[in-house]
């Protein structure tokens, strides 16, 4: 018997239709339909080619047709500096008021179930599934996305998704019309609260890179105690934190150095998430002794040396709004942060008299580190604010946004004088609920018809009034030449 014909690396010689059989190399072929050369770890030959899959821009967005035969395509792989493909002049609103003329007139609006289209200067509803009860009082804005509850809600029992995201397309724009479900692993009574972030504070968290996490809580679902989950849509990871011992809701969160701080009831809790190995437990750092409030709301950082976290107090129209400061000491990796100083009513740093307050949340300004939105009733600010002489009389049922720099509340326009209390945004309730507001427990978001430049995150924006919102402020006085906008974006 002659030596067998041995053909290894079949096909690597490619297709040859020119040579005679006598001349052809053994590894040449006459046809290699859907075959391609393959060479890896010493294995070489011809393999079935890779499958053609529709391009999915991200892992969570379904591909869609361009709507016609594609005649050409070009990728802009460095879109920084390019405008968003989403019209920049738009409003996202989920319930309450809607304007279809760029903010001139406002009417009540009930969200429909349709997705949105894109036409500049038109207001849009977020996509389906918004639930007014379970969604946060104001939307967490995180990673250029607006997060809110979504999915099918049946009697507040079933929530099909953790959160929906309205993704912005570039730093110039907070919101977009595109609402996209980011996860389908939520459970009953999930509530998206604030986003947290755990960066590469230590080597233990390097695996997270610069990605951050959305904090989701499960409040007393099925009689169980309050539990938080953190969800990272980038990594597609959900991590469930230890449960609390009761069903009291978590009302605010803030992340710092791999720790997650939350307000719950009248207490400030913290948990070390640097390892997330199952051994972490909630630490009770402080409890506010103030019988005049029901719970702390919101959590934000006031200063970084030492870290001082601020929490507001939920109140009724007959109760004052108070802000409490928690000064963190001994804050270092591996140690449990402690709170120094009093956190009782004596440490209330501000009292106002609104009917509702939302926040506090960080403002995007180096000199104004805390903002809140409130709906005021007729009355005046308490003059506890320093030596402020000209406390402002609030119009009835107006929505205001305040910022706080540690000494004064102010509007960001004039921080040098004592004329600091002012409304930045707002109007009568018959027109606009304000940039971030709450109406009947429902979420409303801001009017974004402004033109910005540069990076949005990390700093405030001076906005030209000509493209701003409304024409009057504070009882008819003209808008200032410019004013600051403090969107509810957390500083990561």
Partner 1 sequence: MAAYTVIVTNTGVQILGSSGTQTTLALPTGVTATGLPARFARLNNRIIITGCVSVPIWLGQDLQLRVLALPTPTSAPVLTTAAGTYTGVRKAAVAFLLRDASGNILAESPLGPASAAVTFTAQGVVIGSLPVPLTGAPVTDRRVYLTTAGGATFFLAFDVEGITTTSVTTSIADAALSTVSASVDQIAAPADLDLITVWKNRIFGRSQLDLVVGSTPARIDQWPNSFPVDQGTDGVGITGFLARRDELGIGRRDKVWKLTGSSETDFALVKEIDGKGILAPGSCLVIRDIGYFLGDDGVYSWGPEGVKCLTDATVRPWFTTDTYFNRAKFPNVFAGYDPVAHRYRLHLANAGSTVLDRWVDLDIESGKWFGPHKSAAVTDFTAATVAPDSNSVLRAVIAASDGYLYAPTPGSATDGASSAIDFDVLGKFHQGMTPDDTQIWLQASIFTSHESAGTLTVTPTVGDLTSSAGTPLSHDLTKERERLPRVGVGRLCQLRFRENTAGQAVQLYGYELPFVRAGRR
| Stretch 81-100 residues interacting with partner 1 (CB under 8 A) | 81-87
Q: Minimal distance in Å, beta carbon 447 to partner 1?
A: 19
Residue 205 Cβ vs partner 1, minimum distance, rounded to whole Å:
21
Residues 305, 453, 466, 477: which binds partner 1 (CB under 8 A)? Answer: 453
In order of 102, 238, 275, 417, the CA distances from 168 in angstroms are 19, 23, 31, 36
CA quadruple 361, 364, 369, 370: dihedral positive or negative?
negative
> Which residue is it, tokens 């960066």?
199
User: Per CB under 8 A, which of residues 20..79 are in contact with partner 1?
Assistant: 21-22, 24-38, 43-59, 61-79
Residue ranges in 96-155 that form contacts with partner 1 under rule CB under 8 A: 118
- 267-326: contacts with partner 1 (CB under 8 A): none
Q: How far is the CB of 104 from partner 1 (least distance, A)?
A: 21
Compute the half-sphere exposure of residue 17: CA atoms within 13 Å on the CB side of its CA. 2
Neighbours of 69 (CB within 10 A): 5
x/- track of binding to partner 1 for residues 161-200 (CB under 8 A): ------x-xx-----xxx-x--------------------
Q: Measured from the CB of residue 444, what is the shortest distance to partner 1 in angstroms?
A: 23
Decide whether 75 or 332 has the Cβ nearer to partner 1.
75
Shortest CB 336 distance to partner 1, Å: 38
Among 366, 451, 455, 471, binds partner 1 (CB under 8 A): 451
Cβ nearer to partner 1, comparing 16 with 329: 16
Q: Which is nearer to partner 1, 25 or 367 (CB)?
A: 25
Which stretch, 13-21, 129-137, 185-193, 318-326, contacts partner 1 (CB under 8 A)?
A: 13-21
Helix (H) or strand (E) holding 352: strand 351-352
* Residue 225 within binding range of partner 1, rule CB under 8 A: no
DSSP secondary structure of 241-299: PPP-SS-PPEEEEEEETTEEEEEETTEEEEEE-SS-SS----EEEEE---TT-S-EEEE
**Closest approach of partner 1 to the CB of residue 16, in Å:** 5
CB burial string 195-211: b at 16+ within 10 A, e below = bbbbbebeebbeebeeb
The answer to whether residues 247 and 225 touch, using CB atoms and an 8 Å cutoff, is yes
Smaller CB separation from partner 1, 180 or 251: 180
| Residue 10 binds partner 1, judged by CB under 8 A | yes
* 373 in Cβ contact with 400 (< 8 Å): yes
Residue 221: helix, strand or coil by DSSP?
A: helix
Residue 206 in contact with partner 1, rule: CB under 8 A: no
Nearer to partner 1, 22 or 203 (CB): 22
Nearest distance from residue 36's CB to partner 1, in Å?
A: 6
Residue 237 is encoded by which pair of tokens? 């990871």
The answer to whether residues 45 and 32 touch, using CB atoms and an 8 Å cutoff, is no
């Amino acid at each position: 018997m002659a030596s067998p014909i041995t053909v290894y690396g079949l096909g690597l010689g490619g297709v040859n239709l020119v040579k005679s059989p006598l001349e052809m190399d053994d590894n040449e072929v006459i046809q290699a339909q859907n075959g391609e050369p393959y060479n890896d770890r010493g294995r070489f030959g011809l393999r079935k080619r890779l499958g053609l899959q529709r391009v999915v821009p991200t892992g969570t967005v379904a591909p869609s047709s361009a709507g016609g035969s594609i005649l050409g395509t070009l990728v802009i792989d460095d879109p920084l500096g390019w405008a968003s493909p989403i019209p920049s002049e738009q409003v996202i609103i989920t319930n309450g008021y809607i304007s279809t003329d760029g903010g001139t007139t406002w009417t009540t609006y009930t969200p429909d179930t349709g997705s949105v289209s894109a036409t500049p200067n038109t207001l849009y509803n977020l996509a389906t599934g918004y639930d007014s009860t379970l969604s946060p009082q104001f939307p967490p804005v995180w990673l250029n996305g607006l997060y809110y509850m979504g999915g099918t809600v049946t009697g507040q029992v079933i929530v099909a998704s953790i959160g929906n995201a309205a993704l912005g397309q570039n730093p110039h724009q907070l919101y977009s019309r595109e609402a996209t479900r980011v996860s389908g692993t939520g459970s009953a009574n999930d509530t998206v609260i604030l986003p947290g972030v755990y960066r590469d504070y230590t080597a233990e968290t390097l695996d997270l890179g610069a990605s951050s996490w959305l904090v989701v809580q499960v409040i007393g679902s099925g009689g169980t105690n309050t539990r938080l989950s953190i969800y990272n849509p980038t990594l597609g990871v959900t991590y469930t934190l230890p449960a609390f011992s009761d069903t009291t809701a978590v009302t605010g969160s803030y992340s710092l150095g791999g720790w997650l701080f939350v307000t719950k009831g009248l207490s400030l809790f913290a948990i070390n998430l640097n390892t997330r190995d199952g051994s972490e437990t909630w630490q009770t750092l402080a409890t506010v002794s103030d019988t005049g409030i029901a719970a702390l709301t919101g959590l934000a950082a006031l200063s970084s040396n030492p870290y001082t976290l601020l929490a507001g107090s939920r109140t009724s129209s007959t109760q004052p709004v108070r802000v409490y400061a928690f000064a963190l000491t001994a804050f270092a990796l591996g140690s449990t942060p402690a709170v120094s100083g009093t956190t009782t009513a004596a440490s209330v740093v501000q009292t106002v008299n609104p009917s509702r307050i939302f926040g506090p949340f960080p403002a995007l300004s180096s000199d104004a580190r805390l903002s809140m939105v409130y709906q005021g009733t007729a009355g005046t600010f308490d003059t506890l604010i320093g030596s402020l002489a000209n406390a402002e009389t609030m119009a009835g049922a107006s929505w205001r946004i305040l910022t706080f720099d540690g000494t004064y509340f102010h509007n960001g326009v004039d921080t040098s004088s004592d004329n600091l209390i002012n409304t930045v945004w707002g109007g009568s309730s018959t027109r606009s609920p304000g940039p971030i507001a709450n109406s009947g427990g429902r979420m409303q978001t801001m009017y974004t018809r402004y033109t910005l430049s540069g990076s949005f995150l990390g700093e405030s924006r001076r906005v030209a009034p000509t493209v701003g919102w409304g024409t009057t402020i504070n009882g008819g006085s003209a808008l200032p030449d410019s004013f600051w906008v403090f969107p509810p974006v957390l500083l990561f």
